[in-house]
Structure 1
Amino acid sequence: MSKKMMTIDGNTAAAHVAYAFSDMAAIYPITPSSPIGEIADAWAADGRKNIFGQAVTVRQMQSEAGAAGAVHGALAAGTYTSTFTASQGLLLMIPNMYKMAGELLPTVFHVTARAVAAHALSIFGDHQDVMACRQTGFALLCSNSVQEAMDMALVAHLAAIEGRIPFLHFFDGFRTSHEVQKIEAINYEDMAKLVNREAVAEFKHNAMNPEHPEIRGTAQNPDIYFQGREACNLFYEELPHIVTDYMKKVSALTGRQYNLFDYVGHPEADRVIVAMGSACETIEETIEYLVEKGERVGLIKVRLYRPFVNEAFLAALPSTVERITVLDRTKEPGAIGEPL
């Protein structure tokens, strides 16, 4: 891949990839994700082409719930569609998220993870909104930096297309979404070469069409409904292999190595931190400093949080570990521990 450097923020990095893989974007503004939709809208107005050779149709709805409904409908009609949101905006999308996951519709929600208003409003980075979606059936993929916001967005879109599972790609609000860094951009020609075109054709073929009517969204009794819920297990069991495959392909393209769980630190660490998000950047620098001082410490960066692959986590964990500290950027009142 020919290197092209860009000085951009995390929102622009995610928008660069989301625009490439979307026929349509249904949006509603909410801090700190609003710039992603604004950027996509500006590019569409300028006639910028995606990897399918067309400008993206961008539509602002009346709320995040409306945006999620538009995404769901467009996907059912065979249109690759994305959206961008955070905090309470993401919570308004949850009902449609269950439907999209249940119907195996390959979308990607790019989320600037942000605190949910509780006793007070906070617009800053937090994982409360993301953690509220972990049971919806969406795959959850985390980026820790501006560069990763582009790289992981690419993995999310490619894996969604092939695996048919919708993705929630998230990175920390403001700390990553608005951080400006000089990063290596991935061009659209290279992205297009990685797409599973057979999966694209199958998605289009399965779209709702008045020329070929069919029943969807039926009501089922518990005996049948439960079978349908269990039938989806095969897709979720296969998805980590698909994600791993695309991480390898993106690594080969960019030279940046990614795995479901990435370990940094002493090879025989006795103390390890487990974390997700922008905190990993600071922790990694601290770990490197301490290892130079002779400390046996390490860090596991969680990339694919859902589906969570125990075997991959254990493989990343040094066998010498005696103590693990899990740092969660969220609060779940009443629970015996936080979600991570």
Structure 2
Amino acid sequence: MSAEYKTIDGNEAAAWVAYRVNEVIAIYPITPASPMGELADAWAAAGKPNIWGTVPQVIEMQSEGGAAGAVHGALQSGALTTTFTASQGLLLMIPNMFKIAGELTPTVFHIAARTVATHALSIFGDHSDVMAARPTGFAMLASNSVQEAMDLALIAHAATLKARVPFVHFFDGFRTSHEIQKIRMLSEEDIRAMIDEDLVIAHRQRALSPDHPFIRGTAQNPDVFFQAREAVNPFYQACPDIVQETMDRFAQQVGRHYHLFDYVGHPEAERVIVLMGSGAETAEETVEYLTGQDERVGVLKVRLFRPFSGKHFLAALPPTVKTLAVLDRTKEPGSTGEPLYQEVSTVLYQAANEGNLPFKRLPKVIGGRYGLSSKEFTPAMVKGLFDEMGKQQPKNSFTVGIRDDVAHTSIEYDPDFSTESEDGFRGIFFGLGADGTVSANKNSIKIIGEHTDYYAQGYFVYDSKKAGSVTISHLRFGKSPIRSTYLIRRANFVACHQ
């Protein structure tokens, strides 16, 4: 079992695994996913081997579309292949993603989820890019923290080989991709134990080769296309159980437990928030605080978004739930609700229709949006949402974290509410882009994380203009685990650098 701790960011955590379990890595840089490709390229240049003792071939293409095409081709040759991207880069990969999934080809795309440009471009994080890839047929696995970015990266790579369903493994751009956290590293022994060599051989045997000719990627007419398209159904039906089996094997090997849906909160909760991504860490911190005050609240953290398993979702909820609030970190104008809200609503309706509802009555379900373009999501907002859920007629299709004076969708919350303990260090460092403040603070938090017993977290806020603009470094460390995926508001140390 692994026992080494390092202080790294989410991009490095995911790339650490991806590099070690692949032979070809096709890359093209795009913020905030670029460091994953840069690290893979640097490791390959330094001659670092993967778990089979070979150095992966890392190739930079001329666009994300080219990278996806290279991935598709390499996979068809039997090579274990991956890529990294975000936002419009992921959109450029969609045509190849349809083909890769349609041909039941195992791979994992690691996504630092970022805003897709609409009325304006934004380099910051939300789920609008990964949600645009829903129809491709890729499974979708969400990591909420830096530790999970490493762990679920390995789970995705192990599960895709058995399921033959390709995976998008995603985590929040900047909030997870660039957050520095002290995590427990996976050893090469852990990684080897999770990758089934027989499944790797099976992947190689499906390669297109003149030595064993096979036809794939044909053109089909109306007489057969529909039937052939439906033939993938058994693979997707089996996928959730395969992912859970892989999570269980991971727990046996490493000791960290994951489920398709992880519930945290009061065992008889009446109000439950459902969400995925880094906001789930903030929600969990808030729920632990509120349950300590005898509030019957909880949070359900979604890990496997696609294929969405209604069976596992219903089993994870407390039977006492009366109101569900489903949070999406994206906006789909004109829809009856955002993607996660629609999945939850459909599962509950189908269960009620089939008489399989595990509750005394159908829970009330409301949906809303939060955190677009890395907008802050704090315990105060979580508390405000729980308060809204307690009303006789809670607002549906709401927003939280903004003041919407146009469509009046926003819910109220007390911005002074806080769950942060007085224990531990919470420091804010102000600087100017390119003055060295951010780099110095990254070094400081890594030294603290790796040379003390403290848990450590660093997050760095800077404008998209970067050089010359104001930077703010948020550093936390202390004796307790840190789930605070939001900016420090009550610092016990403030520094201004020039």
Deviation, 1:34, is 0.2
Matched, 1:201 2:201: yes
| Equivalent-residue separation in structure 1 for 2:200 and 2:142 (angstroms) | 24
Deviation, 1:213, is 2.8
Matched, 1:284 2:281: no
Matched, 1:177 2:177: yes
| Equivalent-residue separation in structure 2 for 1:51 and 1:256 (angstroms) | 22
Q: Report the counterpart of residue 218 of structure 1 in structure 2.
A: 218
The answer to whether the Cα contact below 8 Å between 2:115 and 2:127 also exists between their aligned partners in 1 is yes
Q: Deviations over 1:131-154 (max 9, x none)?
A: 011111100000000000000001
Deviation, 1:160, is 0.7
3-state SS of paired residue (1:242)? helix
3-state SS of paired residue (1:273)? strand
Q: Deviations over 1:241-282 (max 9, x none)?
A: 110011011122222210000000000000000000000111
How much identity, in percent, do the aligned residues show?
A: 64
3-state SS of paired residue (2:82)? strand
The answer to whether the Cα contact below 8 Å between 1:141 and 1:306 also exists between their aligned partners in 2 is yes
Deviation, 1:215, is 2.3
Q: Report the counterpart of residue 269 of structure 1 in structure 2.
A: 269
- Which letter maps to 2:266? H
Q: Report the counterpart of residue 234 of structure 1 in structure 2.
A: 234
3-state SS of paired residue (2:168)? strand
Deviation, 1:2, is 3.3
Q: Report the counterpart of residue 243 of structure 2 in structure 1.
A: 243
Gaps of 5+ in 2: 341-498
Q: Report the counterpart of residue 12 of structure 2 in structure 1.
A: 12
Deviation, 1:182, is 0.6
Q: Report the counterpart of residue 94 of structure 1 in structure 2.
A: 94
Matched, 1:161 2:158: no
Please give the residue correspondences for 1:117-136 in structure 2 after superposition, counting only pairs within 5 Å: 117-136=117-136
| Equivalent-residue separation in structure 2 for 1:207 and 1:194 (angstroms) | 22
The answer to whether the Cα contact below 8 Å between 1:331 and 1:338 also exists between their aligned partners in 2 is yes
| Equivalent-residue separation in structure 1 for 2:11 and 2:255 (angstroms) | 22
3-state SS of paired residue (1:186)? coil
The answer to whether the Cα contact below 8 Å between 1:269 and 1:320 also exists between their aligned partners in 2 is yes
Aligned length: 340
- Which letter maps to 1:180? I
The answer to whether the Cα contact below 8 Å between 1:50 and 1:188 also exists between their aligned partners in 2 is no
Q: Report the counterpart of residue 140 of structure 1 in structure 2.
A: 140
Deviation, 1:333, is 0.4
| Equivalent-residue separation in structure 2 for 1:195 and 1:298 (angstroms) | 34
The answer to whether the Cα contact below 8 Å between 1:149 and 1:171 also exists between their aligned partners in 2 is yes
| Runs of at least 4 residues off by over 3 Å | none
- Which letter maps to 2:116? V
| Equivalent-residue separation in structure 1 for 2:173 and 2:120 (angstroms) | 17
Q: Which structure has the greater CA radius of gyration?
A: 2
3-state SS of paired residue (2:223)? helix
Matched, 1:336 2:333: no
The answer to whether the Cα contact below 8 Å between 1:106 and 1:164 also exists between their aligned partners in 2 is yes
Please give the residue correspondences for 1:56-95 in structure 2 after superposition, counting only pairs within 5 Å: 56-95=56-95
The answer to whether the Cα contact below 8 Å between 2:2 and 2:254 also exists between their aligned partners in 1 is no
| Equivalent-residue separation in structure 2 for 1:247 and 1:214 (angstroms) | 34
TM-score by length of 2: 0.68
Please give the residue correspondences for 1:23-42 in structure 2 after superposition, counting only pairs within 5 Å: 23-42=23-42
Aligned Cα root-mean-square deviation (Å): 0.8
Deviation, 1:25, is 0.3
**Greater CA drift, 201-210 or 323-332:** 201-210
TM-score by length of 1: 0.99
Gaps of 5+ in 1: none
Q: Larger % of helix: which?
A: 1
- Which letter maps to 1:5? Y
Q: Report the counterpart of residue 188 of structure 2 in structure 1.
A: 188
